[in-house]
């Protein structure tokens, strides 16, 4: 039975952690996008800077992974229960998108930059599931 002392809302610490997670995630994502644009713009040159432009987006991707892992480690049981259905659906949709694009490519269809649709479809499925399950508040 739930205690009468339990509040229905988030504690100030939980709100602060959620806001901190979202800020770090958006900063990492924005830096990744800027680094990717720099790679697309200057990464095709034959200078030694090409390696820097190729590695820079990967560093921000690692940042985003670390931010998500730290957030998951701080979740309580209820937040975990809300978060993981979205992750599972997003992963499943991304895998089926990858298999579909791989099948098309194997059949001879040209699928340029096939990683981007897989990633975007998986993220949209994750976020949609979070909205449906109420995990967007976690």
What pLDDT, on a 0 to 100 scale, did the predictor assign at position 13? 84
Distance CA 45, CA 81 (A): 47
Tens of pLDDT along the chain (138 residues) come to: 456 665 666 778 888 888 898 899 999 999 999 998 988 888 877 888 888 888 999 999 999 999 989 988 888 888 888 888 988 999 999 999 999 999 998 899 988 888 888 989 999 999 899 888 877 665
- Please state the length of the chain: 138
**Other Cβ atoms closer than 10 A to 94:** 20
pLDDT at 91: 95
What distance in Å separates the CA atoms of residue 63 and residue 14, rounded to the nearest whole number? 22
pLDDT of 84 reads 87
pLDDT of residue 4: 61
Task: Kindly tell me the sign of the dihedral angle through the C-alpha atoms of 26, 130, 81, 96.
Answer: negative
């Amino acid at each position: 039975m739930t205690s009468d002392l339990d509040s229905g809302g988030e504690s100030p610490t939980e709100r602060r952690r959620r806001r901190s997670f979202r800020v770090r995630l958006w900063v990492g994502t924005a830096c990744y996008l800027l680094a990717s644009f720099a790679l697309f713009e200057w990464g095709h040159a034959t200078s030694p800077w090409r390696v820097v432009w190729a590695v820079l987006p990967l560093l921000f991707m690692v940042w985003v992974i670390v931010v998500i892992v730290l957030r998951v480690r701080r979740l309580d049981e209820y937040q975990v229960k809300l978060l993981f259905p979205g992750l599972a659906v997003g992963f499943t949709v991304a895998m089926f998108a990858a298999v579909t694009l791989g099948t098309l490519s194997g059949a001879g269809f040209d699928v340029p930059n096939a990683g981007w649709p897989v990633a975007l479809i998986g993220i949209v499925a994750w976020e949609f599931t979070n909205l449906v399950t109420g995990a967007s508040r976690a």
